[in-house]
Structure 1
C-alpha cells in the first residue's frame, strides 16, 4: 500500500498552488494544513472523521490511506509539531516531502500578509528541523522542491514529483476553475492568489517591503538564509 504523502512547506512557498494541483487530480484525500488548523481550532475534519489531537490525526491519516484512498497533506512550518515528531510512524509510515522558496521572496510575501510575524514564523529554521528529523530517522534525504522552480517549469516539476512519490502524473490537474475552497475559507487572505488563478504561473513582483528596503526583513532573511541553503542542496532538479 502506498504511504500517505506529507508536503512540509515554508510559508509563502507557493505550496497552496501545489496542493491545488493535488486536489484537482480527484484521486487523493487532500488535507490543507491539518495540524495547523488543529492547533488553532482544536479540531480537524478528515474524510468525515472528527479529530482533536495530532496523534489522533496521524491515526486517521493512516487509516484513511489504508482503507479508502491515498492521503496528501500539506503543512506549513510556522507552527511547531512536537508530539507528532515524537511518533516514529511519521517517519516509518509516511512519505515526507518538503517545499522551499528563495527566502527574500518568501519573507517579503509573508511580511505583506502578517507584519507582526515572529522570526520563527517565517519557517525556514523549523522546516530544516523537520527535514533533519526525517533524514535522521530514515537514513535518507527526503525529496525537496522549490516554489521558484515550480513556477518556472510547472508541468516538468509536478511530473518529477509524482514519479518520486509514486503517483501517476495527470496533466489535466494542472488547470482548474478559479474560486475559493471551503477547506481553507478560514484563512482566505493567505490564499487569494491561488483562488484567483487557474493554474501555476509566474506573477510580476508586487510592490512591497523587502530585505532591501526594510532593516527588520534584512535581519530575518540573514537568519533564515543558511537553512534555505542547506535544504536547497537537496532540491529536485529536472532535465531540460
Structure 2
C-alpha cells in the first residue's frame, strides 16, 4: 500500500471518491471522528464551479471559500503533515474535470464509495428537474478508478453505501483493514450539528446530516423511477457494475 513520499511515510492520505446523493457526508463525519484524522470537504468544488460556470446554490460563497486553481488545491492536499496523522478527503468525482492531473493522488489510499444508480437518480430527482450522466458522476467515478489503477499498479478499494448502512461497524472495520489503517470505535458516532471541516455550502445541503449522531438504521425502500429516467439509469449500470465487481 502506497504511503506517501519518503519524507513523510507516516502520513496517511485517504481519498474517498464518491458521487452525489450518497452517504459521503456521513462517511466524512465517521472518519473525522478518528482522533488522528483531519477531514477535508470537497476541496475541488470552487475550482469546478469556476471552471464550468455552473450556478449552484451559494456558488459565490463556495468560490470565495476555496482556491479555484486545481494545482493549488492538489498541492495543499499533499503538503507535509505531522508524522502519524491522517487526512481524509471527501471528493465528488464530477468535480474532477479532464484537466486535473490524477497523478496528484498516486500516493493516496484511494477508495471508491458507490451506490446503486437507481437510488442515486431517485434521490437526485427529488431535488432537481434536470439530471444528466455528468451530474450523477458514476461514469466519471469509473474513469477515475481506472486511471488510478493504472497510475498506482493497484486496484483501489471499493465500498458500497448500502453495505455500510446495513452493518456500519462490520463494514467500517472491513474498510479500515482494506485501507491498512487501525479500526477506531469513534467512527460509529459523532457530535450533532455542523462540524469544523464542513464546507460553506453546508448551510444549504447538510441540514439532514446535522441532525444525526451516527449512521441511521437501514430501511429498505421500494424505488420506482419515472419512465424518462429509466434510460438514464441504464446508461449508468455498466459503470456501476464494473466498480461493484471490486467491492469489499
1:50-199 to 2 correspondences below 5 Å: 51-65=67-81, 69-84=85-100, 86-91=101-106, 93-181=107-195, 183-199=198-214
Deviation at 1:193, TM superposition (A): 2.9
Deviation at 1:161, TM superposition (A): 1.4
TM normalised by structure 1 equals 0.84
In 1, Cα distance between equivalents of 2:228 and 2:92: 22
Q: Secondary structure at the match of 1:55?
A: helix
Give structure 1 stretches of 5+ with no counterpart.
46-50
Matched, 1:12 2:27: no
Contact residue 77 and residue 121 of structure 1 kept, 8 A: no
Specify whether residues 37 and 150 from structure 1 end up closer, same or farther in structure 2 by C-alpha distance, changes over 3 A only: farther
Give the match for residue 231 of structure 1: 243
Specify whether residues 42 and 21 from structure 1 end up closer, same or farther in structure 2 by C-alpha distance, changes over 3 A only: same
Contact residue 17 and residue 113 of structure 2 kept, 8 A: yes
Give the match for residue 5 of structure 2: none
RMSD: 2.3
Number of matched pairs: 226
In 1, Cα distance between equivalents of 2:171 and 2:212: 19
Specify whether residues 169 and 156 from structure 1 end up closer, same or farther in structure 2 by C-alpha distance, changes over 3 A only: same
Contact residue 48 and residue 97 of structure 2 kept, 8 A: no
In 2, Cα distance between equivalents of 1:101 and 1:231: 10
Give structure 2 stretches of 5+ with no counterpart.
1-8, 50-61
